[in-house]
Amino acid sequence: MLKLGLHVSISGSIDKAVDRAVKLGCNTFQIFTRNPRGWRSRELKPEEAEAFIEKVERCGIDPVFGHMPYLPNLASPKDEIYEKSVESLIMELNRCLKLRIPYLVTHLGSHLGAGIDVGFERIINAINKGLSEVNGDVMLLLENTAGTKNSMGGSFEDIRYIIDRIDEPERVGVCFDTCHGFAAGYDLRTREAVESTIRKLDEIIGFERLKLVHLNDSKGGLNSRIDRHEHIGMGMIGEEGFRNILQSRLGKLPLILETPVDKRRSDIENLNKVRELAGEL
Ligand code: MN
Ligand code: MN
Ligand code: ZN
């Protein structure tokens, strides 16, 4: 059976995210633990965390994924932004611990033109600092990016380079976003292409590090370096591509949709499309 969910809103109170996921028939989901558009957030009250944990357990949802907010840039060459980003990473790791969320997904940021070496140094230091400040069982998942200008982590080699320099590598895993991967040049349309992409991931990073797939179609073409998500099967990866993805080893991992919110297709229709292409409907 698929481990399938989507990114859900925490609007109202954080435990309401669980209700939303359950209503959509999800057995896993992803959240921002706070408003993703600001730098600061108020502390979680113990009763808020309790309500969330209790609902997750009661509904048999496992696992839950947290996602870093939008503003932090762990590769930023600007000291002030960088310091605030590391602080955000520490805060998010702590919030995940409080909420008993086992995985936190992070983007690798942008070096903003300062160069890839500066970016690597920043991000490696950021992760090492973040993990050293937070003791507990939350794994940081590094998400591959679409390889847009100045962005870090568009290739498997770059992700491997970072992991190799982490002091506690057992606390770091990987999230593979299909839209980003396709846009960065990893073909996912045919069975052979999916197998070849998985083989590269396995050889360069190690398949066992992969803990999550962000299942998104892509508005941009192969190697377009455009990060624009599309409904499942309606983009350049297409239905056949997702059928092949879902029937591969990737389909056995937790799958989280980050598909657009618009009139063309609802969340439930996207989830059902995935079930259909996986042969479950
Ligand atoms: Mn992401
Ligand atoms: Mn993603
Ligand atoms: Zn994206």
What residues act catalytically?
Answer: 37, 67, 70, 107, 143, 177, 180, 214, 227, 229, 258
Here the CATH number for the domain that contains residue 132 is 3.20.20.150
Q: Which ligand is nearest to the CA of 177?
A: 2
Q: Which ligand is nearest to the CA of 214?
A: 2
Task: Report the pLDDT averaged over residues 80-106.
Answer: 98
**Structure tokens that stand for 29 in this block:** 């989901």
Task: Over range 249-266, report the average pLDDT.
Answer: 98
pLDDT over 90 at 180, yes or no: yes
Beta strands in the chain (DSSP E): 4-6, 29-31, 64-67, 103-106, 139-143, 172-177, 210-215, 217-218, 229-230, 255-257
CA end-to-end distance (rounded Å), the chain = 11
Residues 6+ apart with CB under 8 A from 50: none
pLDDT band at 281 (very low <50, low <70, confident <90, very high): confident
User: Where is pLDDT greater, at 78 or 40?
Assistant: 78
Confidence of residue 91 (pLDDT cuts 50, 70, 90): very high
Q: Which element (helix H / strand E) includes 270?
A: helix 267-277
pTM: 0.98
CA–centroid distance, residue 258 to ligand 2 (Å): 7
Task: Quote the tokens at residue 104.
Answer: 């936190």
Is 90 exceeded by the pLDDT of residue 248?
A: yes
Measure 196 CA to ligand 1 centroid, in angstroms.
23
pLDDT, mean of residues 16-37: 97
For residue 66, give the ligand nearest its CA.
Answer: 1
CA of 69 to the centre of ligand 2 (A): 12
State the chain's mean pLDDT as an integer.
97
pLDDT tens, residue by residue, 114-167: 999 999 999 999 999 999 999 999 999 999 999 999 999 999 999 999 999 999
CA of 51 to the centre of ligand 3 (A): 30
Pairing status of strand 255-257 against strand 139-143: unpaired
Angstrom distance (rounded) from CA 198 to CA 204: 10
CB atoms within 10 A of CB 106: 27
In this predicted structure, the answer to whether residue 170 has a pLDDT above a threshold of 90 is yes
Percent of the chain whose predicted confidence (pLDDT) is above 70 = 100
Q: How far does residue 58's CA lie from ligand 3's centre (Å)? A: 31
**Structural domains counted in the chain:** 1
Report the Cα 204 to chain-centroid distance in Å. 19
The answer to whether 3 and 27 have CB atoms below 8 angstroms apart is yes
231: nearest Cα among 184, 197, 272: 272
Domain that holds residue 178: 4-277
Reading phi first (left if > 0) and then psi (alpha if -120 to 50, else beta), residue 265 is in beta
Does residue 218 have a pLDDT over 90? yes
